Amino acid sequence: MDTLNLSPKGTKMLKHPLPLYSNCSKFRINASALSHTFDPSPAYDMGLKLSKKIPIRLSSNPARFSKTRGSVNHKTTNAYDQRAQGRVLEEEASQMTETTPSLKTSQGQASPLGVSEVDNGINFAIFSQHATAVTLCLSLPNRGDSSDGGMIELPLDPLANKTGDIWHMHIKDLPRSNVLYGYRIDGPQGWNQGHRFDKNIILIDPYAKLVEGRRYFGDSSEKLSKVLGTYDFDSLPFDWGDNYKLPNIPEKDLVVYEMNVRAFTADESSGLDSDIRGTYLGLIEKIPHLLELGVNAVELLPVFEFDEFEFQRRPNPRDHMINTWGYSTINFFSPMSRYASGGGGPCKASWEFKEMVKALHGAGIEVILDVVYNHTNEADDNYPYTTSFRGIDNKVYYMVDGNGQLLNFSGCGNTLNCNHPVVMELILDSLRHWVVEYHVDGFRFDLASVLCRNSDGSPLSAPPLIRAIAKDATLSRCKVIAEPWDCGGLYLVGSFPNWDRWAEWNGKYRDDIRRFIKGDAGMKGTLATRVSGSADLYRVNNRKPYHSVNFVIAHDGFTLYDLVSYNNKHNEANGENGNDGSNDNFSWNCGFEGETSNASITALRSRQMKNFQLVLMVSQGVPMMLMGDEYGHTRYGNNNSYGHDTAINNFQWAQLFAQKNTHFRFFSEMIKFRRSHGVFSHENFLENNDVTWHEDNWDNYKSRFLAFTLHDNDGADVYLAFNAHDFSVNVSIPPAPSKRHWFRVVDTNLSSPDDFVPEGVPGVGSTYNMAPYSSILLEAKS
C-alpha cells in the first residue's frame, strides 16, 4: 500500500471557486481547483477545465495535504457575449498552508466499473482503451478547517492500477458519502483517428450512480456549474414496504400516458407548494388524476440527468430556450437531480424517484422510462461540450467515420456506438440498474434504429444490443418499446429486429388514422387494418397485436387540440424561422387557422378530438395518449416545443377543471370502457369469427365510411361506425345477437353527457343517422 504525499509546490488555487454541492448534506463543497477555460475559436470546447493540477508524489511515509491560497487576479469575459468567449480565470497565489489527513491507496480492482465499497474503503474503476494517463480527482467533505476544499488529484499508475483497459484504484477509509469525484484523462491527440482527449477537463464517470450539479431547475445563476459524480453508501436501503408488489400488467391490457415529470406539475395552477412543483413528489400528488383518467401506465420523458441549459452555452438562435424534454443525456445511471424537491440534490432525487415508483405501483400504474441511448449531451465537433464519454474514449463510445469525424444519425451531433461490446455492456448495466434499483417496468428507446447500426453506421439485421436486451434475464419482465426510426433514414416500423419481444411505436398507425379522420380519400381499407392490430406489420413469427403501440399524438408534434386547429406548424418561438419540426402533420384546422370563437368550428374540433379518442381506444394493440390531451392542451401550433419551460408545455390544471364534465369526461369514460371490454385487447390477431366488416365495396376510393362489429364470446358484441364524410350517412344497423338489443354508448356528434353514456341508451333501430365527421359505438345488451 502506498501513502500519498500531497505537496503544495507549484499549486495555484482559485479565490472564488465555482460552487459545488455535497450529495447528501446541505453544505457546499467548493472545488477550488476548477476554473472555466475556453478557446475563443469557433470550435472551442465548452467542457469545464481544471486550472492547475495538484502535484502528487508517492511516499512510504504518512503525509499531509497542503495547499496554497492567496490573492487572486481575475480577468473575466462573459461566455455569452457576441464574441462567444469563455470565462478565463487567471490566478496568482501567495502561500498559505492548511492540512488534511493522508489518503491510503492501493491497486484496487477492475470490477465493478464505477464506485464500489470494498475492504474498508472505496474502489474506483473506469474503462478507457486508448488513454495513456488517468488521474482520479476527489473533493472531500468540508473538514471544518477549510472554506474551499480543493480537488485532490491521484494519478493512476498504468503498471499497478490498470487491468486490461480498465483503470482502478482503492482508497482506504474514504468517506462513504458526500465525496465528489471525476477523472482527467490524457491520450493520443490524433483528431483524424477519432481521439478527443483533453487532460484539462474533469470528466464524469459513465458509471456514476449519482451526479451533482446545480440544485434548482433553470437556475441561471448556476448556468455553468460543473457536474461531477458522487456516491452514497451511508443511507439505509429504501423501504419498498411489506405489501409492495409490482403491477405486472399484461402488455395487451396497457393504456399508456406519455408525460413529462416537470411539466406535469410545474405550473402554479397545480396548486402544489413551490418546493414540490415539477418534481417526483409533485407527480405523486397528482396520481388521483391518473386514476380518474383511467390509464394504467405512465411513459416518462427522459429522467436521466440532463442539462436544461444546453442551448445557452454560446450565442445561437436557440439560446433563449431551456431544454424541458430532456433528450440530451449526461449520465445513464443517475436520476435527474433537479427533479428532487426543494433543491435536495442527487441523493434526495434518487430517494424521491423511488417514492414515486412505489406510489404509482401502489395505485396499479406501471412506470415506463423514455431512454436516450442513441446520443449524449456532448454535441458535435463544431461546438463540443465534453463532460464524459468524449474525453474518456471518443473512438470507443461514438461512431466515427474513416477520417475520425463524428457520425450523426441522431440529429444531435453525435451517435453512441451502441453495438461496441463496451458500450453495449454500459447500456445493459444501465437498464438493469433502473430495473433492480428503481423497480421500473419498461423502457421506450428513443430513435431505436440507431441501436441497430454497426460502428461504421451500417444497418445490422441482428444487432447484438437489441438481441441482448430481448434475452436478458433481469429485463425479462420489462416492456421494451422501440421508436423504430432515426435521423439517418433507417425506418423500421414493422421490421424492427425483435426476437418476438420488442414492441414498436407504430408511426404508420398515427399517420393513417389522422388521414382517415380528417377525411382523406382512399383510407377505408387502411383504417380497417390499423384498428385490427396492423397485422400487415406485426403478424410475423410469434409477434402479437400488442407489439403495436398505437398513438395519434406524442410529445413531438401537434397536441390533439392543435391537430384539429392548425394546418401548418407555428414554430417561430423556437428561433429557427419555422424551419424546425415536421411538415408532414396530416392535420386539419376544421376551417380556420388557430383560435376562433366560431361555434360551428369549435364544435367540429371537439367532435374530431372525440373521434380520435374513440378509434384509438377500440384499436387492437396498446393505446398511448399524451399528457394534456384529456383537456385539450394547446401549444398554439408549435409542433416542436422541446425548449419552452412555460405554459406551452406545462399542464394547465385550471383548464382541466373547466373541462372536467365535458371533454375530460369523454376521454376518461372511453379509456375505462376499453379496459372493461376484452374485445379491444385480443392476445392474438383477429380471425374471421372475431369481427364482421359491414362492407362490400372496399375498392371505393371515395368512400370515407367504415363499420364493423367486434364479437364477444358471451354475446356482448360491440358495433362501431366511423363517418369521415362531410355529409350525414344513414347507416343500416345489423341485428343484435340473440336475446340482446343494441344500446347506444357513444355518439361523438352529441354534447356531454349524451356523447358517452356508460350504461347505454336503448331504442336503437335498424338504421342510424350519423352526422358528418362523427362516430358511434353500440353495445349489445340483454
Q: Could you tell me which residues come within 8 angstroms of residue 26 by beta carbon, excluding any fewer than 6 positions away?
A: none
Handedness of CA 406, 411, 417, 419 (dihedral sign): negative
Sign for the CA dihedral angle at 611, 617, 621, 627 comes to positive
Question: Residues near 190 by Cβ (< 8 Å), separated by ≥ 6?
Answer: 404
Cα 243 to chain center, whole Å?
30
Q: At what angle do helices 524-531 and 599-618 cross, to 10 degrees?
A: 50
Nearest 5°: phi and psi at 600? -70, -35
Q: Which of 419, 351, 353, 386 is nearest to 24 (CA)?
A: 351
Q: Which residues does residue 297 pair with via DSSP β-bridges, in sequence order? A: 256, 366
Which residues have a Cβ under 8 Å from the Cβ of 237 and sit 6 or more positions away?
A: none
Asked if 186 is an active-site residue, the reply is: no
Residues 6+ apart with CB under 8 A from 735: none
Identify the active-site residue in 205, 212, 393, 446: 446
Cβ contact 89:76 at 8 Å: yes
Question: DSSP secondary structure string, 479-544?
Answer: EEEE----TTS---TTT---TTT-EEE-HHHHHHHHHHHTT-TT-HHHHHHHHTT-HHHH-STT--
Amino acid identity for residue 281 in this structure: L
339 touches 261 (CB < 8 A): yes
The Cα 257–Cα 293 span in angstroms is 10
Specify whether the CB–CB gap between 124 and 108 falls below 8 A: yes
* Helical pair 421-436 and 464-471, crossing angle rounded to 10 deg: 30
CA angle 161, 162, 167 (to 5 degrees): 90
Residue 751 DSSP code: P
- Residue 82's SS3 state is coil
Contact 29, 22 (CB under 8 A): yes
First to last CA, the chain: 83
Which residues, at least 6 apart from 657, have a Cβ–Cβ distance to it below 8 Å? none
Instruction: Report the candidate in 369, 475, 463 with the shortest Cα–Cα distance to residue 428.
Output: 475
Q: Which of the residues 148, 205, 352, 483 is marked catalytic?
A: 483
Beta bridge partner(s), residue 311: none
Rounded to a whole number of angstroms, the CA Rg of the chain reads 29
- Report the alpha-carbon distance of residue 181 to residue 130 in Å, rounded: 21
Instruction: Report d(CA 651, CA 356) in Å as an integer.
Output: 18
CA distances from 153 to 1, 549, 644 (A): 17, 50, 40
CA nearest neighbour of 19 among 269, 200, 215: 215
Q: Maximum distance among all alpha carbons in the chain?
A: 98
307 is catalytic: no
Report d(CA 680, CA 711) in Å as an integer. 10
Spatial separation of the C-alpha atoms in residues 779 and 768, rounded to whole Å:
14
What does the block give as the cell for 754? 349524451
What phi, psi does 766 have (nearest 5°)? -80, -15
Query: Could you give the residue ranges of the DSSP H alpha helices within 441-480?
Result: 464-471
Residues that are catalytic: 446, 483
